Amino acid sequence: MLRYALKRLLSLAISLAVASVVIFVAIEVVPGDPASYMLGINARPDTVAALREELGLNMSPPERYIAWVGGLLQGDFGTSYTYRTPVAEMISERLWVSLPLALFALALSTLIAFPAGIIAATRRGSKWDLGIMGVTQLGIAVPNFWFAMLMVLVFAINLRWFSAGGFPGWEAGLLPGLKALLLPAVSLALPQASILARVMRSALLDTLDEDFIRTARAKGLTRRQVLRRHALRNALIPVLTIIGLQFSFLLAGAIIIENVFFLPGLGRLVFQSISARDLIVVESVVMLLVFAVVVVNFAVDLAYAAVDPRLRRRR
C-alpha cells in the first residue's frame, strides 16, 4: 500500500512538472510578446519596456521558467499587473470562497445521489426507480445557471429568505457565509447529483448481478446486509471516479454560477484576468487549478486502493 502511494506520488510530481512546462510555453512563449499583449496596441514603447523589465522578459525562456517555478514553490506567484497586488493574496482570498463552495456542492451532490442511486437500484423497475431516473434526466438536461436564476427568483426575490448574490466574507461568521453559499451550492450540486445518482444506480445494479452477491445470500445475509456489506463497496469504484472529476470541475468550472450569484471565486478571477489580459494571474491560477486536479486524482487513486485490494499490487 505504501509502495503504491509512493508510486502515485511520483506520478503526481511528474504530472505537475509536465503541466507547468505546458502552461509556461502556452502563455509566455507562444503568443509573441506578453508585455505588449497585456498593454494593448496603443501602449507607449517605454511603458512596454518597463513592463518587460518587471516581468523579467529580458531573461531567456529557461531562466524565466526556473524563476517562475522557483517563485511558485516558495509561494511567490508574482504581482498582478492590473491590481498591483500579489497574486498569492488574490488567489487565497478567492480560494476561501471557491473551495468551500466546491466542497459544499460536492457534499450536497453526494448526499442526494447516494440514497437516490441506491433506492433506484434496489427497487429496479419500481415507481421509485422510474421517478428517480426521470428527475435525474431532467437534472442533467437543464443547465445549472437556469436553476440558479430560478432559485434566485423564488428564494431571494419572492420569499426573501436569501440575498440574491454576493458574499459577506467569513469575518461575518460561519452561518452567514454558508447561507450565502447555499443557493450557489445547490444549483451546482443538482446536475452533478443527477449524474452521480445514475452512475451509482448502474454500478450497483452491475454489482448486485455478481455471483458473490448470490454467495452472500446463500450464507444467510438479508438483502439489506448484502447491500451494506458486499455490494456498496464494490460499486464505489466507478462512483469515486466521477466524484473526483466532479470536484475538479466544481473548483474551477463554477464561473457561470459565480457570475449569477456575484461571488468572488476563482472562476471569476480567471474570467476577469483573461478580460484584463493579466497573464501573470492567469498563469498562476491555471497552475493552481492543475495542481488541484492532480491532487484530487491522487486522492481518488488512494481511495481506489483503499476500496479495492487488487489495485494495491498493480502498477
Partner 1 sequence: MSLLAIDRLSLAIHGAPILRDVSFSVDQGQIVGVIGESGSGKSMTACAVMGLLPAGAQTGGRVLFEGRDLLSTSEAEMCALRGAGIGMVFQEPMTALNPVQTIGAQVAETVLIHRAGTRAQAMARAREVLERVGLPADRFPLSRYPHELSGGQRQRVVIAMAIALRPRLLIADEPTTALDVTTQAQILRLLKRLVAEDGMGLMLITHDLGVVADMADEMVIMKDGEVVERGAGQGFFGRMKHPYTRALFEASSHVPRRAAQAEDRALLEVKGVSRDYAPARTSLLAPARRFRAVDGVSFTIRRGESLGLVGESGCGKSTLARAILGLEEVQEGEILLDGAPVFSGHHVNLAVRRRMQVVFQDPYGSFNPRWKVARLVAEPFHLLGARPPDWREQVAEMLENVGLAAADMEKYIHEFSGGQRQRIAIARALILRPELVILDEAVSALDVSIRAQILDLLADLSGRFGLTYLFISHDLSVVRAITDRVLVMRAGRIVERGRTQEVFENPQHDYTKTLIAAAPKLPQVAAE
What residue ranges bind partner 1 (CB under 8 A)? 210-212, 214-222, 225, 229-230, 233-234, 307-310, 314-315
Cβ closer to partner 1: 54 or 228? 228
Cβ closer to partner 1: 160 or 310? 310
Cα–Cα distance list, 153 to 43, 47, 147, 231, 266 (Å): 44, 47, 10, 42, 25
Q: How far is the CB of 214 from partner 1 (least distance, A)?
A: 7
Cβ closer to partner 1: 234 or 248? 234
Q: How far is the CB of 213 from partner 1 (least distance, A)?
A: 8
For 310, the grid coordinates are 487488487
Q: How far is the CB of 313 from partner 1 (least distance, A)?
A: 8
Angle at which helices 87-122 and 127-141 pack, to 10 degrees? 150
Asked whether the CA dihedral 232, 236, 242, 246 is positive or negative, the reply is positive
How far apart are alpha carbons 294 and 103 in whole angstroms?
17
Cβ closer to partner 1: 120 or 269? 120
Q: How far is the CB of 20 from partner 1 (least distance, A)?
A: 21
How far apart are alpha carbons 315 and 312 in whole angstroms?
8
Cβ closer to partner 1: 161 or 212? 212
Q: How far is the CB of 1 from partner 1 (least distance, A)?
A: 13
Q: Is 158 helix (H, G, I), strand (E, B) or coil?
A: helix
The residues, any chain, with a CB within 8 Å of residue 245's CB and separated by 6 or more, are none
